[in-house]
Copies of this chain bind each other. A is one copy, B any other.
Amino acid sequence: TKEDFDLAAIYVSDAQYNRNIYFDTSPEAVRLYLRYNHWLPQVLLYFFILLDLSLAVFEDPAVIPLPSWATMLVELLCLLVFTIRIVHYAKVIPREKFWKDAKNICIIVIIVLTLVDMIIYGSLKASDYDGVRWSRVLRPLLLVNVTEGRQLSHVSQVSHLSHPSQLSHLSQVSHPSQLSHVSHLSHPSQLSHISHLDTFTDLRRAFRSIRNALPQIFYVFLLFMFSLLIFSLMALKLIGKRGLTTINGSPYFTNYLEIIFDLYVLVTTANSPDIMMPAYNASYFFAIFFILYILINNYIFMSVFLAVVYNNYKYHLKEEVRQLVRAKRHKMVRAFAVLQDQREGREPAVNQANWNQLVRLVQPDAATLTESCWSKVAFVQLADLLNIEVITLKSRPHPLQSLCPNLYQSAPSRLLCKLVQHRAFVIVYDLIILVNAVFIGLDEKNTLIANSEWAFLSLYLLEILLKLYVFEPRAFFSKHSFWNWFDTIIVISALIATIVNSSMTSAGIYTNRQILDIILILRVLRLIRVVDSIKRFRTIINTLIRIGPAILTFGQLILVVYYVFAMVGMELFKNKVKFYGNSSDPAKAYCGNVLLKGTDFAQLNYCKNNFNNVVSSFILLVELTVVNQWHDILPLNASHRNIFVAFVLEAFFVEY
């Protein structure tokens, strides 16, 4: 029946994309589940989460101030979308499963708390009190809990089309048993590494894996603290008794807590060598103390931290991969059970007609597979088979071949194809790029150089068109052809921007600085392409592209953490440190805060490092993460002895 096929198709597609939802199998629920998995609501959901997160730009303290009723209206809309999505989900899966999942409860609690916060804030605002939008801290948790995503990204990377020889000897895939053979033929080096390159792209799993590593990290941290205390005790007893002074004349290493703090900062090497100099000036032997300290606490402990985190991550990743493979097989077995022919005395199997209908449902453009019936073992491999789309795309003939075969197969056309696929073609374009680089470096006010831009643009455009003539367009723009996409987007954007700019100039309109900037960035980005021509570089870059999804997940994770810190930081520190730009206000010299008068922070003109809006806050948090000169950035006095738990304590020191 139609319903059986729908159900089987869902099982196969869940297995294919590693979805793990225990949906109801009633026809009603199956129909809802199909709609739930549609790409449109998923993209919409992602959009509304980003919209909800980006509200921080418009809320007080704002980058672009909007009235609070406007932002709250948008937030209500977002909450409505989230509610619809969770209600939809609740209808798809069995009731008891829904309430057992902490994820769902978390989403509901966030929605309710946000509503409560908005009501309180609104009524406070109406009665002219200042409220705090504390529920904003909860927003990134939606990103963690709502987004479903593929839980693992299998690597099926195929190097891009400038080297088509790798894929040329591939014929149509005709049977799953050929799968291992085919993939071995096409890109053995890449497919053989699949098990090593599986990476989390699911944010929740990434968080879970970090949480699981926490106890072990905690013990390493305790050991580190123990080492810090022991070294500080030794410093107090050995150096503190010598009556040494720092460069300011204050006593050196006489207070145990100050020593602990100074040595803690020394781990980040931020106060080195200053913290060592007084002792070193007194005796060579004290240098050994500091070198030992840095060796043990910076090098060894940081390595152990890394090793513990990485080991745990790998262990949990393996565990999750094992679970996913099990779940995948389980789903394919269920799909098989729905479609199998039960004939007496024979093994159950799926016949050709059923198979074809199923494949058409799951992936309409997949290669057709010719086999009279499918055993259970062969059937279970279907999900993996459907994922090697690239290979089937590659083997298609060029559309011009079908449209005008005579012309496309003519001698000049075939010569052109040979030329474009020749190594010299790549070398010529690399030389063009190098010349272009020199022209970019030269002064652009020279008219010759300004006009040369048109020549370069046409050359790049010609390259893309030639490649499209030679290679099958759908294969050229396949999902994994990073450099083809890169080239095309950069060149087309540059073309549009250059045309807009020159038409504005010739029309006598004032040249927009931002358009010029964009043209310039695009011009410089085009130079990167040269990297792909050198084989060793390509290997490195391909590796980076392959771990891209994992880096993106890590980026989301960082975003969640930064967002929470930014929200808290803005409530605590907004307008404590002010940036005056080009104004001549005398308060500019101390960032508008008398407590900062004469500090390094104000003298080095760091005033824009503040929590006055969400953009500043994010940039400040990046600086704090990247740089270890905390004592320079955090607006504390020069002795910088109190940054230990920097964000929490700062609130007390500067103002409260």
Interface residues of A (CB under 8 A from B): 216, 219-220, 222-223, 226, 230, 233-234, 237-238, 247, 256, 269, 272-274, 277, 280-281, 284, 287, 291, 294, 298, 300, 304, 437, 440-441, 517, 520-521, 524, 527-528, 531, 536-537, 540-541, 543-544, 551, 579, 581, 604-606, 608-609, 615-616, 619, 622-623, 626-629, 632-633
Contacts and interface: CB of A to CB of B under 8 A. Distances in A.
Copies of the chain in the assembly: 2
Contacts of A619: 280, 284, 287, 291
Given A247-B605, A277-B605, A540-B220, A272 B623 contact: yes
A604 B247 contact: yes
A524 B230 contact: yes
Contact of A238 (B277, B520, B605): B520
A531 B273 contact: no
Contact of A284 (B247, B609, B615, B623): B615
Contacts of A216: 536
B274 A604 contact: yes
Contacts of A237: 440, 520, 524
Contacts of A238: 517, 520-521
Nearest to A580: B281
A277 B604 contact: yes
Counting from the closest, the 8 A-B pairs by CB-CB distance are A219-B536, A272-B627, A287-B619, A234-B524, A269-B627, A237-B520, A273-B623, A294-B626
A274 B536 CA distance: 35
Of listed A216, A520, A609, A619, residue having the most chain B CB within 10 A: A619
Contact of A540 (B219, B269, B281, B527): B219
A273 B633 contact: yes
Contacts of A269: 626-629
Contacts of A219: 536-537, 540
A272 B625 CA distance: 12
Given A230-B524, A300-B544, 19 more contacts: A220-B540, A223-B537, A223-B540, A223-B541, A226-B531, A233-B441, A233-B527, A237-B524, A247-B604, A247-B605, A269-B629, A272-B627, A272-B629, A273-B632, A277-B606, A280-B608, A280-B619, A294-B622, A294-B626
Nearest to A236: B441
Contacts of A605: 247, 277, 281
A590 to B, nearest CB: 15
Contacts of A628: 269
A470 to B, nearest CB: 28
Contacts of A230: 524, 527-528
A556 to B, nearest CB: 14
Contacts of A294: 622, 626
A164 B272 CA distance: 45
A623 B543 CA distance: 34
Contacts of A531: 223, 226
A531 B441 CA distance: 60
Contacts of A291: 619, 622, 626
A304 B623 contact: no
A605 B230 CA distance: 28
Given A223-B537, A440-B233, A619-B287, A304 B517 contact: no
Nearest to A555: B295
Nearest to A579: B281
A588 to B, nearest CB: 11
Contacts of A441: 233, 256
A281 to B, nearest CB: 5
A566 to B, nearest CB: 14
26 contacts: A220-B540, A223-B531, A223-B537, A226-B531, A230-B527, A233-B524, A233-B527, A234-B520, A237-B440, A237-B520, A238-B517, A238-B521, A247-B605, A256-B441, A269-B626, A269-B627, A269-B629, A272-B627, A273-B627, A277-B604, A277-B606, A280-B608, A281-B608, A291-B626, A294-B626, A304-B544
Contacts of A627: 269, 272-273
Contacts of A633: 273
